[in-house]
């Protein structure tokens, strides 16, 4: 063989082989693009997280408080190529909604006229409120396939059964739902996302078991403890809405830094681990009143006995776990 041809082949084949064999090993199991990270008030930045298997562009969207404005921020940061509405249409494959408070679902409703056909996953308690209160022809056109007629049938409601895994078509992800308590008689949801034996856990708004007089978090910790022990669970997205000064009677089903650490201690005990230093805890839903966001960060960093990796997500900035 001509030696120039050999050099030519090496030059063009080896980098491609490298990308396939070596390069792909560098993809993290999950890539996340936060579309909104604040716990209320700021309509431009409300809870929503796009999650894909590393190395793919096929995202599920966990909660949908803000979509368009968050995607626009990600486009500005060169995470996606715009326009924002094209990213919304083609990159987001399905929605998972943790609970139907408006700050977790407003973006989905408001963007529905421009969206493509998708499934909306959630517990029945959540999907029923979306059906009856938002896609109702009085609040909005009914873009879904249940509820008030005419039904425009762009969205399909996909009710979940707690603990039963759902394979998400068009992705390599599987998702399980676990019910949470978010104030008296109000159900929220945690989603456990799996990609090839690696896990990410996302919790919607939730109070602590002690405050909620509930065992929902205890049950969730029991379910994920084996994954913590083996190191298969790399990240937990969990709220810390208020600083420690918030009176217990004004928690409204939310966590403080101390209550979060108390719940993580319960997880650590259930898992039988020494500490949780291998776990990334992504702090969601800090309420932006006054200086509260900074106070919450300071309180968490100042008292972290289990040595978790505290992460404060930024709107439109990609993360990998």
Query: Which residue's CB is nearer to a copy of itself, number 141 or number 158?
Result: 141
What are the angstrom distances between the C-alpha of 141 and each of 3, 123, 134? Answer: 67, 22, 8
Which tokens sit at 201?
Answer: 């856990």
Query: Which residue's CB is nearer to a copy of itself, number 57 or number 114?
Result: 114
Query: Which residue's CB is nearer to a copy of itself, number 13 or number 184?
Result: 184
Query: Which residue's CB is nearer to a copy of itself, number 13 or number 289?
Result: 289
* Three-state DSSP class for residue 36: strand
Under DSSP, the state recorded for 122 is E
Q: What residues line the site for a copy of itself (CB under 8 A)?
A: 40-46, 66-69, 72, 83, 85, 100-103, 106-107, 109-111, 113-114, 129, 132-134, 136, 138-141, 252, 289-290
Minimum gap (Å) between residue 251 Cβ and a copy of itself: 13
Minimum gap (Å) between residue 124 Cβ and a copy of itself: 13
Query: Which residue's CB is nearer to a copy of itself, number 83 or number 196?
Result: 83
Minimum gap (Å) between residue 142 Cβ and a copy of itself: 13
Minimum gap (Å) between residue 238 Cβ and a copy of itself: 21
CB count within 10 Å of CB 18 equals: 11
**How large is the angle between the packed helices 292-302 and 257-271, nearest 10 degrees?**
40
Query: Which residue's CB is nearer to a copy of itself, number 176 or number 182?
Result: 182
CA nearest to 111, candidates 81, 68, 61, 76:
68
CA dist 254 and 241 (Å) reads 6
Minimum gap (Å) between residue 92 Cβ and a copy of itself: 14
Residue 246 near residue 292 (C-beta atoms within 8 A): no
Residue 146 near residue 132 (C-beta atoms within 8 A): no
CA nearest to 52, candidates 107, 93, 111, 96:
93
Residue 318 near residue 32 (C-beta atoms within 8 A): yes
Minimum gap (Å) between residue 289 Cβ and a copy of itself: 6
């Amino acid at each position: 063989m001509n030696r120039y041809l050999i050099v030519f082949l090496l030059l063009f084949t080896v980098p491609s082989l490298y990308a396939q064999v070596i390069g792909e090993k560098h993809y993290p199991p999950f890539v996340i693009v936060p579309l909104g990270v604040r716990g209320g008030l700021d309509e431009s930045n409300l809870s929503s997280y796009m999650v894909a298997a590393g190395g793919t562009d096929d995202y599920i969207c966990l909660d949908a408080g803000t979509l368009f404005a968050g995607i626009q921020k990600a486009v500005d940061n060169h995470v996606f190529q715009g326009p924002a509405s094209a990213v919304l249409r083609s990159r987001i494959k399905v929605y998972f909604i943790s609970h139907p408070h408006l700050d977790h679902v407003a973006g989905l409703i408001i963007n529905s006229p421009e969206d493509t056909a998708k499934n909306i996953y959630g517990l029945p308690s959540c999907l029923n409120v979306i059906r009856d209160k938002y896609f109702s022809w009085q609040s909005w056109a009914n873009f879904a396939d249940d509820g008030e007629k005419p039904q425009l049938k762009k969205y399909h409601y996909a009710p979940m059964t707690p603990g039963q895994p759902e394979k998400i078509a068009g992705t390599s992800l599987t998702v399980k739902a676990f019910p949470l308590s978010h104030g008296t008689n109000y159900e929220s949801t945690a989603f456990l996302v799996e990609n090839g034996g690696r896990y990410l856990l996302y919790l919607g708004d939730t109070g602590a078991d002690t405050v909620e007089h509930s065992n929902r978090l205890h049950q969730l910790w029991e379910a994920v403890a084996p994954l913590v022990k083996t190191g298969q669970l790399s990240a937990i997205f969990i709220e810390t809405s208020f600083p420690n000064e918030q009176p217990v009677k004004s928690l409204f089903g939310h966590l403080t830094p101390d209550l979060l650490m108390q719940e993580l201690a319960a997880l650590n005990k259930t898992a039988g681990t020494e500490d949780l230093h291998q776990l990334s805890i992504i702090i969601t839903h800090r309420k932006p009143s006054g200086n509260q966001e900074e106070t919450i960060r300071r309180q968490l960093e100042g008292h972290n006995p289990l040595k978790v990796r505290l992460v404060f997500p930024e709107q439109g900035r990609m993360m990998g776990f």
